[in-house]
Chains A and B, each alone.
Chain A
Amino acid sequence: MVRHRPTLIINAHLVDPETGREEKGALAIENGLIHEWGHAIDASAKPEGALVIDAKGRVLTPGLIDLRAFVGEPGAEHRESLASASRAAAAGGVTTVVCMPDTNPPVDDPAVVDYIIRRARDTAGVRLIPAAALTKGLHGKEMTEFGLLGAAGAIFFTDGARSVANAQVMRRAFTYARDFDALIVHHVEEPTLSIDGVMNEGELSSRLGLPGIPKAAETIMLERDLALVRLTGARYHAAMISCAESLEIIKRAKDEGLSITCGVSINNLALNENDIGSYRTFLKLSPPLRAEEDRRAMIEGVASGLIDVIVSDHNPQDVEAKRQPFIECADGAIGLETMLSVALRLVHNGDVTMPKLFRALSTTPADILGLPQGRLRKGTPADLILFDPDEPFILDPEKLHSRCKNTPFDGSRLQGRVHMTMVDGRIVQES
């Protein structure tokens, strides 16, 4: 068997987020790499033995690159294994996933990095890349071995769902990380201020009798981190912002020339605090869903490019963890499989263009990670998806591939379905 069969995808609506170029035509793949694409490609001149795929006019773009997904392997495979996460990702058009280090044991040792890379290679169809812990045991006290972990294959350093409260620890980590050109990704939430909170603080939390998380918990941590970036020159990415005030802070930092980036969860683009309704635990998230003005601000942030990336914040929780009173249940929602359809709402609503959306879903995340994919460029890996952006469906959680079904979009009307996902020039999912 030929390792990489030459492939030609014809009749496609090609969208390249990197250049903004959009045209109908074909794309040729050789040795797992994009060879050439465009309207001028002669489909009849295909190489010997080539596989020809008829896109039937569907959109062909680079696959999504998700900087934030929690996978239960090792330690909580009942919630999500690397294999099940990969199936969910492939079905959702996500071709590269960065796995958070909040596992058991946590990813704070090169052996665990190595384990995940090997397990992913053996069991997963999409690219699953481990992020390593920023501090040992995710305790926020002592930095991990940035050099050795990075050499083992950890792509960046983060304490996942936790914030590092101690500024001295963070300063040292930022400073030391610079020597290895390591990227630090941080969940920006001041834990002493959010400690009891379970949702956005405001009138709604008061009515529900639930303790709130003020926006200041996020802005304080973000401002602190940026002050430390100015002090140390670290490569820094704020994992997710959720409110208009944070966007202002990001704008000021970027205007002054600080080279930082930030992300937003797909949930904060699609939902607001009112969706919690009568204590719906699938909408208990971190950062919390904020007010509608904040959601609008997040969309404008994506449209203006101030927000660099959109993440799924995929966080599978089993039934026991969610079938609890709101205060006591676990945070998180699954998102790998629904991220694209939900994000396409922004295109359908006219908030962003398709190339712009895919820059935040694919090209910019790749640039942040230093990966070649995430664009339609000759010589880059053929990590591609083919989807119909208009195809409507009602989300049935039972049909999702994730081992957990905690989706906030249960029963939602969505548009946009992936028909083929290709990684490294090979089809990993087809429907």
Chain B
Amino acid sequence: MKHLVVAIIIALTLNIGNAHATNIRGQIVRYVNGRYYPLPNVRVDFMAWNGQAWVLSAYAITGADGFYYFINFSPGITFCVAVLGRFYPLQPLITQNLAPQLYQDVPVISS
């Protein structure tokens, strides 16, 4: 019985993160005449690692401000983004569980 209670406590503790979601955000910009400008209408693919291969999990189109958003991901997913046929960043990332008003920012990408 004692072990069961401990197991339940551990299971509940480990599942705290599952109750929340992660919001990811990034910005695509273009470098023109020494300045960066937001780049709208660019498709960004969210690539998730399923343990054996990369799979296209979702995609987004950048808005007028160059931002793209991926929302409601479970924390713990290994991911990268693909923009215009290239994959960013050089190292894969892991989704974090953050407060709802915060974003996990992928580095700004310049086309």
Q: Do A and B come from one complex?
A: no
Give chain A's interface residues, CB within 8 Å of chain B.
none
